[in-house]
Structure 1
Amino acid sequence: MSNAVTAVSASPAANDGKSVPARLGEAFVGRLVIIIPYLWLLFFFLVPFIIVFKISLSQTAIAMPPYTPVLDFRDGISGFFAGFGELNFDNYAWLTQDALYVNAYVSSVIIAAISTLLTLLVGYPIAYGMARAPAAIRPTLLMLVILPFWTSFLIRVYAWIGILKPEGLLNQLLLSTGIISQPLIILNTYTAIFIGIVYSYLPFMVLPLYSALEKMDHSLIEAAKDLGCPPTSAFWKITFPLSLPGVIAGCLLVFIPAVGEFVIPDLLGGSQTLMIGKTLWNEFFANRDWPVSSAVAVILLLLLIVPIMLFQRAQARAQEQDR
């Protein structure tokens, strides 16, 4: 039996001319490439989520940290299992009873959805123009899109305060040209929030769209024109459907961080802006209610993760049906 195994392992047809250690090494490297991302998600996503979820099930206390620890291993395994009876779900019930949190979630989703739509309307023509530009200047155009990332995000948001305030650059320009007779009130409004989000997250929309549009076969458009298809119809029947993967990817990359955005609503929207990011900040730092703020964070995460998982499953089923 051992001679047969040795003969098979030594056969070039069985191992493609590679030794057993080489094949084992390649298999180990292949598995390592898969394991590393999962370990990254485990330590930097799942473990912090479990910690936050555990805090959300505790009670507020005047101590440091300001909550009563639950499911703690300091009392041993028996104490850990006994802690299940001390879990408190009142924080989640409180979120449903207080209209502040419900309105904050709804407002955040609406603002993020409108901002994502505006970013798509602005980013699609930019990406389309980049994809149709000569190949020699495409790297330069890509660099111009990525260039804002070289400056601090906070500094870029502060710059918009100088542009949008009543005595800012925008009002000075409009007043000097005679377009308006009195300064516009843009700062500390939802309009300023939309401007800040669109500006800040525009590259996240342009880059996936450009990647999808660049790979498109432009001969399809030429064939449609030869068959008498108007340019507008050719765009909606050919270009836009082929760019849908980029549209979906860009919308997700903009919508997800926009829902939990804190800096832009706080600096450009003012104190009256109601978004879940500001509510979470106030609960955590101002009220020092860590259990409630942790419950807010858990609900926010589930609000974003569940639709993404459902979308991925629907996309996987569609791909299986196409096959």
Structure 2
Amino acid sequence: FAQYANLPARAAAFWNTMVLAPIGALACLLVAYPVAYYLALRAPQRWRLILLALVVIPFWTSLLMRTYAWMYILGGRGIPALLSYIGFEDIRLINTPGAVLLGIVYGYLPLMILPIYVSLERLDRRLLEASADLGATPLSTFLGVTLKLSLPGVMTGFSLVMILLLGEYLIPTLLGGGKVFFIGNALVDLFLQSRNWPFGSAIAITLVLVAV
């Protein structure tokens, strides 16, 4: 590990992973919780299955295809071309940490929504009614009842996304363009290009320990 830390590019991959993975998981959580809350507690019953299907449908295609779609959207012929047309020149979206973060949120959002939805859907509605009858404000009810009782789903979704992001390889490769490395990129380089299996194994074990 000391050898790994002394290599600038691979040390950067480690720190990128340790920074962008938690930020990506947190961003997924901030988007997923309102969606799950609406699906579980506010959406009309007749629309609920349709909305859940819309959440799951992206998983019907491979992450590779979806990431390639974002490459086109963020590339020179996508959003930057539109911005250039309306007067914003030299806007670069692809091959940036922001592009990687966007790909992470899009790719892993359903894995955050579903556990939270399950926790909220199982919530006893009588507790919410009792809180309101006792004079609690909607915000107090949310913080004191809804949020607390949904924490198992939040922790499950956050842990699941976080663990997967620690080993992420595809999104940084395609949307980072070789400029935003994760540990997964370094492992591929060590195992498949450098053929440095002992070093790669040491880093892989370190990654497992960090995930645990």
TM-score (norm 2): 0.91
Q: Distance in 1 between matches of 2:83 and 2:122?
A: 41
Give the structure 2 partner of residue 147 of structure 1: 57
Give the structure 2 partner of residue 287 of structure 1: 194
- The answer to whether residue 71 in structure 2 is matched with residue 164 in structure 1 is no
Matches within 5 A, 1:210-225: 210-225=117-132
Give the structure 1 partner of residue 92 of structure 2: 185
1:142 positional shift: 1.6
After superposition, the Cα gap between the structure-2 partners of 1:164 and 1:100, relative to the gap in structure 1 and judged at 3 Å, is: closer
Give the structure 2 partner of residue 40 of structure 1: none
Give the structure 2 partner of residue 113 of structure 1: 22
Give the structure 2 partner of residue 203 of structure 1: 110
Aligned length: 211
1:172 positional shift: 4.4
CA deviation map 1:237-281 (0-9, x unaligned): 111100000000000111111111111001001212131111111
Relative contact order higher in (CA < 8 Å, ≥ 6 apart):
2
Give the structure 2 partner of residue 29 of structure 1: none
- CA RMSD in angstroms, aligned pairs only: 1.9
1:167 positional shift: 2.5
Give the structure 2 partner of residue 246 of structure 1: 153
* Greater gyration radius: 1
Secondary structure at 1:137 match in 2:
helix
Secondary structure at 2:45 match in 1:
coil
Structure 2: state its 5+ residue gaps. Answer: none
Q: Distance in 1 between matches of 2:111 and 2:20?
A: 17
Secondary structure at 1:221 match in 2:
helix
1:174 positional shift: 4.6
**Letter matched to residue 188 of structure 1:** N
Match of 1:265 among 135, 158, 172: 172
1:175 positional shift: 5.4
Give the structure 2 partner of residue 231 of structure 1: 138
**Maintained 8 Å contact 1:166/1:184:** no
Q: Distance in 2 between matches of 1:128 and 1:183?
A: 39
1:99 positional shift: 5.0
